[in-house]
Structure 1
Amino acid sequence: MTTDTSLIANWGMPNRILVGPDRLKELPELCQELGFKAPLLVTDRGLAGLPMVTDTLAALTSAGLSAALFADVEGNPTGPMVEAGVTAYRQGGHDSVVALGGGSGLDVGKAIAFMSGQTRPIWDFEDIGDYWTRADANGIAPVIAIPTTAGTGSEVGRASVIANEAEHRKIIVFHPKMLPVAVILDPKVTTALPPHITAATGLDAFIHSFEAYCAPGFHPICEGIALEGMRLVAASLPVAYKDGNNLEARTKMLTAASMGAIAFQKGLGGVHAISHAVGAMYNTHHGLTNAVVLPYIMVHNRASIEHRMVPVAQAVGLQDTSFDALLQWVLDFRRELGIPHTLAEIDVPDDQAYEVGRLAAVDPSAGGNPQPLNAAVLTEVFRKAVHGRL
C-alpha cells in the first residue's frame, strides 16, 4: 500500500487530531512534545500481540519513554477492568495514557487516566447533573487516543461508558478533562478489521450522527456535522466493508466516527438507550446492537422526525426524500452489510423485556429522543426488535 498525501491533515477541533496513513509513527515525538515521560499504553486484549501494539510499545521505549502495556480490556468494559488499569498505572509510576484500540480500549484508557488521581469510586462520577464536579481535576492524567475501529468516536469524547455489573447497567462517566489532548486517526491500523466488525462499528458511527440530528434542541453546528458524517458513512462504509485495504474509505470512516461523536454532544436517543441496556444484560456488541435496533426506533419516532428527513435522505444519496424511502434505505443498507434484522438473531431473548425497558428508560441517552420515552414504550420497542415487527 502506498501513502496518498491527499489524505494527510492536521485538525484542531475539538482536540488536536493527526489524520492520515502512517501517522501512528509520529506517536513517540507527540508524547515528547506533550511532556509525557512514562505513558501507560492501554489496549484491547485481542490486539495486545499484534504488531501495531508491540511495535508501538517498542517505539515508545526506544524514544526513551518509560512505557508499559496494560491490555486487560475486553468488549463492554467494566469497573474491575478500570480498577486493574489504575493499579497498573500507579504501580508503574505513569504520568499519562496512550489508549489504542476500539471503543472499549479507548473508554478504559480514558477512565484509567481519569481515575488515576481520584479517591472516590468511579460510579460517583456518573453523567448526572454536576456529579463531574466531585472529581479532583488536577488528578486527571492526559490521554492520547488512537482508534483502531471507526465507530464510537470515543477519541473526541469527554466520557467513558463503563458497565456496572452489580446494577446490570452501563454508566456514562463524564468530565470535561477526559477529552484526549491529542488523537491519531491512522487508517492503516484499521485495515485488519474483518468485514462484520467494519460494518457494525461503521453503523454505530452513522447512528451517532442520525440520533444527534434527530435530537430536539437548537444546535445547527452539530446538525451540520451529523449530516456530513452520515454522507461519509453512506459513501465509504460499503467500500471499506468490501475492500478493507482501501485507505481512502478507511480514512473517511475514521473521520465519520469522530464527527458522529462530536455531533452527539447535541444528544442521542432511544437506539442507544436500548442498546446500552441490552449490552449490559446480554454482553452484545454495541455497534451491532445499535444497527439492529435503529429502524424500530425510527418507526417509533416517525411523527417527530418525518418532516426533518429530507436533508438526511439527500445526504445518503436518495432521490426520493420521504421517510418511507429513507427507512427502506436503512433496511437495504443493513442487509448489504450483513446486519441481522432482529435481536433474536444475535441471541437476545425477550424474557426480560420489562427489565430492558426499565434500564433503557433511565439511560441518559433516552432524554435526547425526539418522541417521549418511558419504560413501557421502550419495552414494546425492544420486543419488536427481538421479533422483527416494524
Structure 2
Amino acid sequence: MHILEGNWNYPNQIISGAGRLAELATQCQEKGFEHPLIVTDPGLSSLPICDELKQTLERANIKFDVYDQVSANPNQEDVCRGVEQFKRSKHDSVIAFGGGSALDAAKAIALMVGQELPIWEFEDVGDNWCKVKEEGVAPVIAIPTTAGTGSEVGRASVITDSEKHLKKIIFHPKMLPVLVILDPNVTTGLPAKITAATGLDALSHCLEAFCSPSYHPMAEGIALEGMRLIKENLQLAYENGDNLEARMHMLVASSMGAAAFQKGLGAMHAIAHSIGATYGAHHGLLNAILMPYVLEENYS
C-alpha cells in the first residue's frame, strides 16, 4: 500500500495517516488539555477502538471521562446532558470521537458549556452567532470514525429540535475543532452498509456543492477532487473494509466535501433534514435515496 500520511492546515489543523490516533495524548499535552471529555455514541463506546483511544490517554496519565449518550440524530437533550457532565467533572476540553452525530453533539457541547442563553438562540440565522460568549467555548479535538459528514472541518452542528421535529444549524466560528486526526484504522470496523451510506453522504456534499450556482472557484475545485476520490475508493472500501488506502482517501474526501459545501447545498439535504428530523432516519442513507430524483429534477 502506498503510504498516505500528511500534516496540513486547511481549514484547521489536520494530521492524517494510519496509526496517528496514537498521537492523541501528545497533542493533548501540547495544547494544555489536562482533563478532556470524550464524546461518542453508545455503540462506539463499547468497541475495542474506543478502548484504544482511552488507553492512549491513560498511558500519558491524562484524566478523562466518557459521555456516550448521543442519539443517531443528536438533539438538545443530548447536548444538555453532555454540558452537565462537562461542568460537573470540571473538564477543560472535548474529544469528539465518532461519526457525524457524535462530532456534531461534541461541538455543540463545547459551545454551550460557556453560554447562558438556550441553544436555539445560536441557530445560524442572521447574526445570532454574535450572542456567543467566546471565552466560554471549550476547544475540541475531532476524530471521525466514518467518512461522511465531514463535521470535523465545520464550524456548525446540526441539532434536532425534538419538540418541533426540526433540524437546526447551530453556528459559531469557534466551534471549528482545533485539531483533526484522520486515521483510517478507526474506520475499518465500519459495517459495509454504513460505509456505503456515509460515503454517499460525502458524495452528496461534493456533488451539491459543485452544482451550486454560487461563485466559489476554490470550493468548486475541492468538490470536484472529492468526487474523484469517492468514485475511485468508495466501492473498494465497501468491498474490503480493511483497505487502508481506500479508507484514507474516503476520510479525506469526506473532509473535502464539508469544506466545499460552503459554496452551497441543495434539495437533497433540504429534504433529508426534514425526513430525518421527523423519522430519525440515517442522514447519509436519505441523501443516497434522494440523490437520483433530485438530480433528475434539477436536470430537467
TM-score (norm 1): 0.76
Amino acid in structure 2 at the alignment position of 1:136: K
Corresponding residue for 2:124? 127
Corresponding residue for 1:219? 216
Retained in 2: the 8 A contact 1:155–1:180? yes
Considering Cα pairs closer than 8 Å and 6+ residues apart, tell me whether 1 or 2 has the greater RCO. 2
Retained in 2: the 8 A contact 1:57–1:69? no
Give the Å deviation of 1:66.
1.9
Corresponding residue for 1:205? 202
| C-alpha separation in 2, matches of 1:217 and 1:290 | 21
| C-alpha separation in 2, matches of 1:189 and 1:268 | 28
Give the Å deviation of 1:211.
0.5
Give the Å deviation of 1:63.
1.2
- Name structure 1 gaps, 5 residues minimum: 304-390
Corresponding residue for 1:259? 256
Residues 321-340 of structure 1 correspond to what in structure 2 (within 5 A)? none
Retained in 1: the 8 A contact 2:2–2:245? no
Corresponding residue for 1:116? 113
Corresponding residue for 2:41? 44
> Which range moves more in the overlay, 17-26 or 66-75?
66-75
SS for the counterpart of 2:262 is coil
Residues 227-266 of structure 1 correspond to what in structure 2 (within 5 A)? 227-266=224-263
Retained in 1: the 8 A contact 2:40–2:67? yes
Corresponding residue for 1:17? 14
Q: How big is each residue's C-alpha offset from its partner over 1:190-226, in whole Å with a ceiling of 9 and x where there is no partner?
A: 0000110000000000000000111122100000000
Corresponding residue for 1:359? none
- Name structure 2 gaps, 5 residues minimum: none
| C-alpha separation in 2, matches of 1:283 and 1:271 | 16
Corresponding residue for 1:284? 281
Retained in 2: the 8 A contact 1:57–1:68? no
Corresponding residue for 1:186? 183
Q: How many residues align?
A: 300
Corresponding residue for 2:62? 65
| C-alpha separation in 2, matches of 1:251 and 1:5 | 11
Question: Is 1:85–2:82 an aligned residue pair?
Answer: yes
Question: Is 1:166–2:163 an aligned residue pair?
Answer: yes
Q: How big is each residue's C-alpha offset from its partner over 1:146-182, in whole Å with a ceiling of 9 and x where there is no partner?
A: 0000000000000000000111110110000000000
Corresponding residue for 2:267? 270
Q: How big is each residue's C-alpha offset from its partner over 1:15-67, in whole Å with a ceiling of 9 and x where there is no partner?
A: 11110100000000001111111100111110111121122123213312221
Determine what percentage of the aligned residue pairs are the same residue: 56
Q: How big is each residue's C-alpha offset from its partner over 1:213-244, in whole Å with a ceiling of 9 and x where there is no partner?
A: 11122100000000000000011000000000
Larger Cα-atom Rg:
1
| C-alpha separation in 2, matches of 1:190 and 1:55 | 13
Corresponding residue for 2:141? 144
